[in-house]
Amino acid sequence: MNTQKFKNCLRGILPALLLILPTEAAYSAEGGVVETYKNATAPFDDATHVEAVLPLAVKTVPVSERYRGKLFYTEARKDKLERFSCSKCHNNQPVQIPRSAEMAHGKIALAHGSEDRPLSCFTCHKKDERDYLVTEQGMKVDMDHSYQMCGQCHFRQKKDWVGGAHGKRIANWAGQRVVQNCTACHNPHSPRFEKRWPATYSPPLSKSK
C-alpha cells in the first residue's frame, strides 16, 4: 500500500474510531463526538429525553396512544380552525344574522364515506357539544385528537401512522418525535386526494455546436 492510499484509509477509519474508542477527551465535560453521539442515542422515557435544539413552530399535544411504550406528539388542530370554538355560535341561542349557516359553512363540500353510506355532519360532530367530535360508539373526542376519530374507520392507516409509516414527521430526529395530524394532509370533509398528472421538469437540451 502506497503512502497516499494509506492516508485515504486513515481518513475513513478515524471518524469511526472516534465513535467507538472511550477516550477521556470524548467523555470529558467539554463534550466530544462520542459524548454527543451517546447522548443523542441514549434510551429515553417521559422524564428524560433528548430535547429539540430549536423550539417547535407549531403547538403540539401528546398522542393518547404510544408506539412501543414511547410517547410521541402530534400537531394541535384547534388553533388552526378559523372559527373555533364552535360553541360561540352553536349555543342554543336564536341566530339573528340572515343566511348565517351559508356564510359560516357554505364553502364546505362534504364528500366523505361510500355511496351507500355517505357521512353527514353529525356522523363526526357531537350534536349537543359542537366543540367536540364523537365516535360511532358515542365517545367524545377533542378536536386536537382528531386522529382518534379518523382511526375508527381508517384503522390500518392509523396503525401505520402510530408506527411512523404513514404521515409526516416534523420534528426531533432523536428523542420524542412530533408528527403531523391526519387533518394536516387530508381535508376531513373531503379526504381523498384529487387525481392529477405528475409534475415533471425537463431541462432544455443543450444545442451541440
User: What is the mean predicted confidence (pLDDT) over 180-187?
Assistant: 89
Nearest to 123 by CA among 114, 132, 131, 133: 133
State the CB neighbour count (10 A cutoff) for residue 110: 14
pTM here is 0.61
Write out the three cell numbers for 9. 484509509
For the segment 191-200, what is each residue's pLDDT rounded down to a tens digit? 888 887 777 7
Q: What is the dihedral of CA 163, 165, 171, 174, to 10 degrees?
A: 60
Region for 129 from its dihedrals, namely left if φ exceeds 0, alpha if ψ lies in -120 to 50, beta otherwise: beta
Most confident range (mean pLDDT) of 19-28, 98-107, 189-198 is 189-198
Q: Got the DSSP string for 82-128?
A: TT--GGGT-SSSPP-STTHHHHHHTT-----B-SSSB--HHHHB-SS
Task: Write phi, then psi, for 181 (nearest 5 degrees).
Answer: -75, 165
Query: Which three-class secondary structure state does DSSP give residue 28?
Result: strand
Give the gyration radius of the chain's Cα atoms.
26
Asked if 104 and 89 touch (Cβ cutoff 8 Å), the reply is yes
When pLDDT is averaged across residues 153-169 and rounded to a whole number, the result is 90
Q: What is the pLDDT of residue 27?
A: 45
Q: What is the mean pLDDT of the chain?
A: 76
Evaluate if residue 73 carries a pLDDT over 80: yes
pLDDT digits (tens, 9 = 90+) for 54-63: 566 678 899 9
Going by pLDDT thresholds of 50, 70 and 90, the confidence category of residue 31 is low
Confidence of residue 23 (pLDDT cuts 50, 70, 90): very low
**For residues 135-159, average pLDDT:** 90
What distance, in Å, lies between the first and last C-alpha atoms of the chain?
Answer: 45
- For 84, list phi and psi in degrees, rounded to 5: -80, 140
What are the boundaries of each domain within the chain?
9-41, 44-90+100-185
The pLDDT of 156-171, averaged and rounded, is 89
- The answer to whether 40 touches 47, Cβ cutoff 8 Å, is no
